[in-house]
Amino acid sequence: MKPGGGGGSAALLLLLLGCCCCSSPGRRVCQGMSNQLNLLGTRENHYDSMVRMFSNCSVVLENLEVTYSLEHHDLGFLQTIQEVGGYVLIAMNEAATVPLVNLRLIRGQSLYEGRYSLLVMSNYNRNVSSATLNYTSGLRQLQLSSLTEILKGGVKVTHNPLLCNVDSVQWRDLVDGDSSPSMLLKLDAVAQDFTKLQCAEQCSRRCRGPKPIDCCNEHCAAGCTGPRATDCLACRDFSDDGTCKDTCPPLKLYDPKTHQVVNNPNAKFTFGATCVKACPHNYVVTDGSCVRTCGTGMYEVEEQGVQRCRTCDGVCPKACNGVGVGSLINTIAVNASNVESFRNCTKINGNIILIETDPHYKIPPMDPEKLEYFRTVKEITGFLLIQSWPKNLTSLSVFENLEIIRGRTTHHSLAVVRVPHLLWLGFRSLKEVSAGKVVLKDNLQLCFTRRDKWTHLFRSRDQDQNRTCDQQCTEVGCWGPGPSMCVSCRHFDRRGRCVQLCNLLQGEPREVEVNSSCVRCHSECLLRSRTPTCFGPGPDQCSQCAHFKDGPHCVPRCPHGVQGGGDTLIWKYADGTGQCQPCHQNCTSCWVYILFNTCRAATHSSLAVAVVGGLLVAVIMSLVVFVLLRRRRILRKRTLRRLLQEREVGEKTVTAGTDRQLEHQETDSLNFVLQLVEPLTPSGQAPNQALLRILKETEFKKVRVLGSGAFGTVFKGLWIPEGENVKIPVAIKVLREATSPKEAYVMASVDHPHVCRLLGICLTSSVQLVTQLMPYGCLLDYVRLHRDHVGAQWLLNWCVQIAKGMNYLEERHLVHRDLAARNVLLKNPNHVKITDFGLAKLLTANEKEYHADGGKVPIKWMALESILQWTYTHQSDVWSYGVTVWELMTFGSKPYDGIPASEIALVLERGERLPQPPVCTIDVYMIMVKCWMIDPSSRPRFRELMVEFSRMASDPSRYLVVQVNLAAALVERPQNTLGTMFYVVGNVDDVLPQRSEKVLQVLPRFLQNVPVIQYVKSGTFCLQHSEGVVDGTHSRMFFYETFSQCSVITKEQRSQKKILEMFSERYQGVR
C-alpha cells in the first residue's frame, strides 16, 4: 500500500473499552482521569472522552476532571457520581451548570498541586474583541448540594466571574481540620446541610442531628441515616457489601484450634475504598490489595490467570516509574529533563507520554537519539500516548520489544495521534493489550494498520465487540447491523433488505427477479406452486389471472359502464374462460350465465316512458311535500304569534293603567296634595314589566338529567303547549325544597341575547323553572373537549359576548355573584349566554353593594373583598369575569389548582395572581390583571371591557397565538331524490350540534324526518332517522340526541370519501 493511499490516509482504529473497572450491586466504579489541564485533541473529542468515562458512574477511583466543556455541552452524565477517590477539578469550562448533585464524598487520596481536593477555576469565556472584555458564557451554578465531606486536602475556587449564590458555604464543616487543608476562596456557594459543626460533643466525627443519639458510626463519612455502620452515606475507609469497616477481611486467619494461620474463606481484596472478592484482571494482587504496580524488590508474575507480585530472587528486572507514578507523579510528559530515568528499563510502572515541548517551563527539546532508551521496554502498565515524534523517524521501532500494554490508568491503552510523517508502527513484539482502546487518528501516511490484526491482542471482550456486517452484504461493507444496512447486496435486494433468494416458487408475496431485485407480482396474479407466478411487476405480466382477463391485463372485474372514446360507455362480460368479452352493440348492459349470456335491449320508447313517468312522480311528490311543509309552517307561526300576543297584552295593560293615572292626576292634583300624609320617596327605577308564564306540570316532559348542583337538578325536556301540536326542547330546573324561587324573579327580569331567560315556571311542591335549552352545554366543557378546534376569533368573540351580557346585568342593577365558564352556555359555537342565577342579587337604585350571610360560594372566582367581607358589587363581578377569561384562554384549566380554598385569601393578599396563559399576548393578560386589582374602583367597567375585547376581536391573530387543527367542513348542496332531502357533511367534528328555540321561527319551510348525523362525545358518529329541521340556505345541519340504530364509524374513517360511501350505502340516491 502506498503512502497516502485509501487505507493509509487518516487511518482510524477505534476499539471501544467500557471504562468500568469493578462494580457492586447498584454502584458502578470508574477509573478516572489524570490529565489535569491537558487538552488531548479537539474540545468535542475531549467532551466525548468525559462522557464515555463517567456515564452511569457512581464511584471514581482516581480523579474527576471536568474540563474544556463548551456552552452547548450537556453535563447531565455527572449526576450519578457519588464518590471520588482523588481530587475534583472543574476548570476551563463554558457550560453554565456542573450538576454534581449526588456527590457526597471527596477522599483526596491524590491532591491537585499537592494541596487541593476541590479546584474550581477559570470557568468562563469572554469577548476578547470587546473593549470591556464582556463575559459571554461560563459557570453559573456549582451544584454540590449533597457534598458533605472532604477527607483530605483543601479547596480552591478562583476566577469564576459568573459563578453566583455561593457565599454561605461553611467549608470548615466539609474539610478535615487534622489534615491542615489549604483554603483559597473567591466564590459564592449553594445551600448546605451541616453534618459536623452542630454535632454533640459525644460524636467523634459526623452526625445527623444535634443530639447524642444522632451521632454517626466512627467509620462513616459524609453523614449517615442511623447509628450503625450500615447506615453510612459513605465510608471513611472501606465498604464491605454496604458495611463500613476500617479494613477489609484479611486473606489469612489464625485458627486457635490448630494454632496455625489458615486461609480466610471470606477474604476480600481492597480496591480503592471497596472490598472485592477478586481484583480486576488488569490489576496486580499483592498483600490483599489490588494495585497498579508492584513495590520495590518485587516483580509481576501471572499465576492461574491472576497477576501477582512476587519477591525477586536476586536482582529484579528493572522497573521504572512512568509519567504519573512515583517521582514523575506531577510530570506531564517524557522530556529532556527526565528521559534519563528510562535507561535500561524493562517495565514502566505508569504511562509513556510523548507530546510537544512546553516552552512555559523552558525545557529544551529532547535528543531523538535518547528515544533508544525505550528499546529495552517490554511492558507498560499504563498507556502509551504519542502526539509528537522526530521527523527523521518514520516508525515507532524503538518500541519493537514492547510485549504488553496493561492500560490500567485510563480508557486509552495506545494512542498515536497527529503524526503526519509516520509510515508504519513497528510493534513487532506486541502480544497483548490488556484493557483500554487503541486509537490511531490523523496520521496521513500511516499504513499497515488493518483492523483485524488487533483483535487477537485484546483480552477483554469489551475491547472488541466483533460487530461485523451481515452475511448478505458484499465486501463493500455496511452502514450498520443487519441485512437492511448493506451498502450493496451479495444476492438480491428486497425493498431495501438483502436476501438470499426471492419468493419465486413459494412464500408470500410471490416475486420476480428484476436486475438483482425481488419485485412483487401484481395483486391480480394467481398464486402458483412449482411454477413462477409472474414474469414482471405489471398486471399484464401474470402467468395466470386470479379473476378475469381483459385483453392482456388481469383485472378484478370486467368493465361495466366505463367511459370509452367520445360519449360511449363500454360494457363487457366474462366468458367461461374468464376472458372479458364485449356486449352486443344493441345492448346497454349484459351479464353471463353458465351456458348463455343475456343483454338488456336499448329500446328508446321504454326509456322515454320511464323518464316521463319518473318526472311526473317527482313533481307530484314535490307538491305534496310543499303543501305539508307550508301547513306545518303556518301552524307554527300561529302558535308563536299567539304566545307573543299574550306577552304584549300584559305589557299594554300596564301601559294603559299608567295613562289613566296621568289623566286623573291633572284634575285631582290639588285634592291629592291636601290629603297626602306621608311624603313621596320615588326611587327613579323603571317598573319591571316582565311577563312570567305559569305552566302546568302536564305541559312538559322530562327526558334525562343534564346535571345537578347545590341549588337544584337540571333536566332535558320537551315543552308541549296546551292545545298545540308542537314540541319545543327546553331545560327544566327543579329547585330544592329549601331554595326560594327568587331565581325565577331574576331570570324573568332579563331579556338580552347573551343572558339566558326564563320561559315559564311551574309551582309544584318543588319549584320548576323552564328555560331555553342550550344543546352545546356549558362553555367550560366545550373548550376542554374541542381545544384543538377553538381558534383565536372564537375565544375573543366569547369574551365580547360575556362582557355584553354582564354589562346588561350591570345596567339592570343585577349582581351575578357566580360568573364562571361553567355558568356560560352555548346556543351555538358563535353564541353564548350567561345563566345560573342561583347566587344573583338584584340591587335597588340606592344600593351600591350587597352583603351576604354565608353559604356555598365559589371562592376561587371571588374578589378579595367578597372573600374577606362578603361584599358583592358589579366590580366584584369584574374580578370573576377576569377569572372566566383566564379559563377560556387556558382551555378549561382550574384556577389556583392545588391551592386549598382556605388559603386563597392569603395568596391574593401576597399579590399572587393567575399566570399568563401561553396563548395570550401581554395586551390580553394586562386586561385580566386590571380585573384583579385590589381596589374595586381601579378595575374596568363591563362597558370598557366590551369595547376592549371588541377591538381585539377585529384582529384576533395580533392578540392571541392559537394553533388550530380545523379541517374545513365540506357541505354539499341538498339534492331532491324521490321527494326526500339529504345533506352530506364532511368532517363531523367541525359541524357540531346546534339547537335553538328559534329554529321553529327561522326554518319552518323544510322537511322533517330527514336523515341527520348525530354527534357523540366519545368521538364516534352515526346515521339515523330523527326529528330535525335543515336550513338549506345556510347549509347547516342540526342534531338531536336520539340514540337508536346507529351505524358506528371510527375516527379513522372521517375522510369525506368514507362519509359519502356510507351515505350512499344506507340511503340510495345520495352522493
Report, as residue numbers or ranges, the catalytic residues. Answer: 818
The position carrying cell 527523521 is: 392
Residue 1053 DSSP label: G
Work out the average pLDDT over 590-596.
49
708 in a known ligand binding site: yes
Residue 929, pLDDT > 90, answer yes
- Residue-wise pLDDT tens digits, 796-828: 999 999 999 999 999 988 888 889 999 899 989
Residue length, the chain? 1071
Q: How far apart are CA 825 and CA 802, in angstroms?
A: 10
Do the bridges between strand 319-321 and strand 347-349 make them parallel or antiparallel, or are there none, so unpaired?
parallel
Q: Determine what percent of the chain is predicted with pLDDT higher than 70.
A: 72
- Per DSSP, helices labelled H in 704-843 are 742-748, 779-785, 792-811
Which residues, at least 6 apart from 867, have a Cβ–Cβ distance to it below 8 Å? 859, 904, 905, 908
H or E element that contains 718? strand 712-719
User: The whole model's pTM is what?
Assistant: 0.34
DSSP secondary structure of 964-995: ---PPPPBPPPEEETTEEE--BS-GGGS----
pLDDT digits 0-9 by tens, 680-696: 556 555 565 556 678 88
Which residue do the cell numbers 396474479 mark? 525
- pLDDT bracket for residue 1042 (50, 70, 90): very low
For residue 644, pLDDT over 50 is answered with yes
pLDDT in tens, 83-102: 999 999 999 999 999 999 99
- Residue 458's pLDDT is what? 73
- Ligand-binding annotation for 710, yes or no, is yes
Q: Which of 41, 37, 5 is nearest to 442 (CA)?
A: 41
Highest mean pLDDT among 12-16, 361-365, 581-585, 648-652: 581-585
- Whether 1023 shows a pLDDT value over 80: the answer reads no
Q: Has residue 482 got a pLDDT over 60?
A: yes
Asked if the model's pLDDT at residue 4 lies above 50, the reply is: no
List residues bridging with 238 in a β-sheet: 245
Whose CA is closest to 269, among 300, 298, 307? Answer: 307
pLDDT tens by residue, 152-173: 888 888 888 888 766 667 767 7
CA-to-CA dists, residue 872 to 813, 849, 851, 907, angstroms: 12, 6, 6, 20
Least confident range of 100-109, 427-436, 958-967: 958-967
**What pLDDT, on a 0 to 100 scale, did the predictor assign at position 565?**
61
| Lookup: cell for 55 | 456515564
The answer, yes or no, to whether residue 311 has pLDDT greater than 70, is: yes
Cell triple for residue 66?
A: 471536568
Angstrom distance (rounded) from CA 248 to CA 262: 17
φ, ψ of residue 768 to 5 degrees: the values are: -120, 125
Determine if the peptide bond prior to 940 is cis (ω within 30°). no
1070 Cβ partners below 8 Å, 6+ apart? 975, 977, 982, 984, 1063, 1064
Q: Give Rg (Cα) of the chain.
A: 46
Candidates 779, 697, 712, 774; CA nearest to 742 is 712
For the cut 60, the answer to whether the pLDDT of residue 130 exceeds it is no
How far apart are the C-alpha atoms of 1024 and 734, rounded to whole Å?
32
Q: Is the model's pLDDT at 1053 over the cut of 50?
A: no
Query: What is the spatial distance between Cα 1063 and Cα 1011, in angstroms, rounded to a whole number?
Result: 10
Of 506-515, 705-714, 760-769, 859-868, minimum mean pLDDT range: 705-714
d(CA 357, CA 436): 26
Alpha helices in 445-584 (DSSP H): none
To the question of whether residue 707 is assigned a binding role by annotation, the answer is: yes
Mean pLDDT of 1011-1017: 35
Whole-number pLDDT of residue 756? 86
The pLDDT value recorded for residue 1030 is 33
The span from the CA of 759 to the CA of 747, in Å, is 9
**Measured between alpha carbons, how far is residue 385 from residues 334, 356, 418, 817, 884 in Å?**
10, 12, 11, 80, 69
Where b means 16+ CB within 10 Å and e means fewer, 102-122 reads: bbbbbbbbbbbeebbbbbbbb
pLDDT at 633: 86
More confident residue, 467 or 525: 525
- Distance, in Å, from the CA atom of 916 to the CA atom of 918, rounded to the nearest integer, reads 6
Tell me what pLDDT residue 649 has.
57
Considering the chain, what is the average pLDDT of its residues?
A: 76
